[in-house]
Structure 1
Amino acid sequence: MDARRLLIFREVARAGSISAAARALGWTQPAVSQHLRALERSVGAALLLRGAGGVELTEPGRVLLARADAVAAQLHMATEEMAELTALRRGRVRLAAYPSAAATLVPAVLARLRTAHPDIDVELTEAEPPEALALLAAGDVDVALTFSYGPEPETAPGQRRLPLGEEPVLLVLPEEHPFVASTDTDGTIGTDGTGETEGTDGSGGTAAPGPGLARLAEEDWVVGCERCRAHTLQRCDEAGFRPRVRHVSDDYVVVQNLVALGLGVTLLPRSALAAYRHPRVRTLPGYGSRRLAAVLRDGADSVPATASLLRELVRLA
């Protein structure tokens, strides 16, 4: 099978039409069509259904596209390795990160990389963990920053997970909420921006469970992404009630504004409060934690630029 034709097929499948792929490749449409026909002859099956609105993958086409994505990712890693070996001393890493990491951990990592390795170019895409892992599987990014609650999730074949630690989940309430007044903690975020509060062990875990959520059973709740929402529901279920979800937003600035105005209470990971802290909210520790990880393709850390990024992620996470 001709690898060049495989990559042309990948471009067509991703572009959705032969004409769009031809423009992206800088080729003529007949030239692209000719390579596609040759590839179909070599595999002995139709890969695309052609129509007025573009192309649609056949079942063999969908199977081959997954392999084409893997080939593209491996070629990218080879390009980076050869660049280093031939003393070009440049590297490019494509990173996908969930919003709170993109606002806190990633800028710190990029600043250190710029100082230590000014010729490494990191391209950042903000994406929630499922989307980041899909980009990694498609070969569109080299590293996916993810988080999870509870047991560590399974890693797809051909990928590996690099644990980066845990961070505590905090209960966030309006400043004058009676639940805060009835506790011993001062509910403040540490001056170093880490969000450490009394009741955490300083390593991302929690030293002791927070005050019982059952007293908040009649409150309105604000929840975020699917994974964070599931964690909130689980904690409330453990406290013996189903929360009345009134507002849903993935934006932790929006969530904190809603809480500050007394429109609900919520659970947020520490990094969300380190990225932005509304002055009229209070926090309490002890409501679980979430695991942070970098996911990459097997062998990706042999690329010097990617290895440098991973070292800084481990150091700063």
Structure 2
Amino acid sequence: MIDLRQLQALRAVHAEGSVTGAARRLAWSQPTVDYHLKNLDRLVGSPVIQRSARGSSLTPVGVLLLDRGEEILSLTDRALRDARDLTHMGRVRLRFGTFPTAAARLLPSIVSQVDELGIEVDAVLAEVAPLIDQVHHGTLDAVLVYSVPGYDLPFRNHLAVTEVHRDPLMLALPAGHPLAVPGPIDVPTLLSLHDERWLFGATGEDPMDTIVIDAFREAGHSLDVSIRSDDFQVLLGMVAARMIVGMVPKLAVGSSHSGVQLHPGVVLRPVAHPDFARSLLLAAPGEGARRQPSTAVRQLAVAIRDSLAALD
């Protein structure tokens, strides 16, 4: 197993160009640096540095190992920094905004997890546009929002944005519809639904709606948007009543296998194309030269991912 000190020695040699310089950089003795490098040679089965009269440099194997090792060292440094920050920060209040679907499915678990770390959450529920506006103006410390491929959200440069989940979009069809069969649906088959009545979001600007409408437009079809609502239970009820068809994110309906009827009278089919999914994004002001989110926000991201994983 690799010892972190071996990677530290390798990084220092690369930075200083000599074993002597590496020892000085690390405040170690030269024999100590040599000891860790030789142990690394034995683990790898090949020299990781090459020495000459001009100093020392990494071999190709050493370069590859350092490239991988930098991530390990960075994660280790961050883990220590986060642990120290959590030790000293005491109780922290975090103003957190999220959209209603995520709040309904995730918020209780998120709040419970971060509370154990001393983080109190003040939750705000809103749609994507006002959430982004509030985090831009500092009235929220972090927001969970969503976007889809090709439709970037207007984040300002001071925000650190992290994707925490990919949420597939499901086509909701009434039971008994000719296409209401188990399994994914491909895009050409999806486009055959251009004569159906559709339900889309209330604002007409939801990125999930836009990606569907644009796909049909590119194929030369305009859709009959019969009803608008942001309530997915309304959508599912109307689909069951054979009034409309529509798209619903998996997060809104829970875990399912293809074709399982989680709502009576509705069959859900995932769309077999990577564009038909939304990215759940955690955005918060960045700190320091690398614009990393605060320790509390990073712990929030962990809680969000864990809460999502528990739903699968």
TM-score (norm 1): 0.59
Q: Which residue of 2 aligns with 1:269?
A: 249
2:304 aligned to which of 301, 304, 313: 313
For residue 210 of structure 1, report the CA deviation from its aligned partner. 5.0
2:124 counterpart residue number: 125
Distance 1:311-1:243 versus aligned 2 partners, 3 A rule? same
Alignment of 1:58-137 (within 5 A): 89-114=90-115, 116-117=116-117, 119-137=118-136
Identity over aligned pairs, percent: 25
Runs of 4+ in 1 over 6 A off after TM superposition: none
Which residue in the other structure is 2:194 paired with?
Answer: 217
Amino acid in the other structure paired with 1:158: H
Amino acid at match of 2:167: E
Give the Cα separation in 2 of the matches to 1:303 and 1:285: 36
Note closer, same or farther for the CA distance 1:112–1:86 as it changes in structure 2 (3 Å cut): closer
Q: Give 1:92 deviation, angstroms.
A: 0.7
> Alpha carbons of 1:87 and 1:150: their partners in 2 closer, same or farther (altered >3 Å)?
closer
Match of 1:247, SS state, is strand
Work out whether residues 131 and 145 of structure 2, in 8 Å CA contact, stay in contact via their aligned partners in 1: yes
Change (3 A) 1:291 1:302: closer
* Pair 1:249–1:302, CA change in 2 (3 A): closer
Distance of 2:221 and 2:293 partners within structure 1 = 49
User: Aligned partner of 1:143: which letter?
Assistant: A
Instruction: Kindly indicate whether residue 151 of structure 2 is the aligned counterpart of residue 163 of structure 1.
Output: no
- Could you say if the C-alpha distance between residues 303 and 216 of structure 1 is closer, same or farther in structure 2, counting changes exceeding 3 Å? closer
The alignment covers a number of residue pairs equal to 210
CA change 1:86–1:312 in 2 (3 A) is: closer
Matched, 1:291 2:257: no
Q: 2:164–2:301: 8 Å Cα contact kept in structure 1?
A: no
State the secondary structure of the residue aligned to 2:198.
strand
Which residue of structure 1 aligns with residue 146 of structure 2? 147
Distance 1:296 1:278 in 2: 35
Q: 1:250 aligns with which of 217, 225, 230?
A: 230
The Cα offsets for residues 188-220 of structure 1, whole Å up to 9 and x where unpaired, read as: xxxxxxxxxx44xxxxxxxx7356123322211
AA of the residue aligned to 1:235: A
Q: Distance in 1 between matches of 2:86 and 2:229?
A: 46
User: What residue ranges of structure 1 are gaps of 5+ in the alignment?
Assistant: 1-80, 186-197, 200-207
Provide the secondary structure at the position in 1 that maps to 2:195.
Answer: coil
For the residue of structure 2 that corresponds to 1:139, the secondary structure is coil
Aligned CA distance change for structure 1 residues 267 and 302 (closer, same or farther; 3 Å)? closer
Are 1:136 and 1:144, in contact at CA under 8 Å, matched by a contact in 2?
yes
Root mean square deviation of aligned Cα: 2.8
Say whether the 8 Å CA contact 2:163–2:281 is kept in structure 1: yes
What SS does structure 2 have at the residue aligned with 1:213? helix
Q: Aligned partners of 2:187 and 2:212: how far apart in 1?
A: 14
Unaligned 5+ runs, structure 2: 1-81, 256-260
**Distance in 1 of aligned mates of 2:89 and 2:168:** 42
Deviation at 1:97, TM superposition (A): 0.7
Map of 1:172 onto structure 2: 172
Cα displacement (A) at 1:270: 0.9
SS in 1 for 2:164: strand
User: 2:120 & 2:251 partners in 1: Cα distance?
Assistant: 25
Structure 1 position 314, deviation (Å): 3.7
Using the TM superposition, name which of 231-240 and 127-136 deviates more: 231-240
Shift of 1:98: 1.2
Q: Which residue of 2 aligns with 1:232?
A: 212
Change in CA separation of 1:141 and 1:150 when aligned onto 2, cut-off 3 Å:
same
- Give the 3-state SS of the residue equivalent to 1:179 in structure 2: coil
Give the match's secondary structure for 2:192. helix
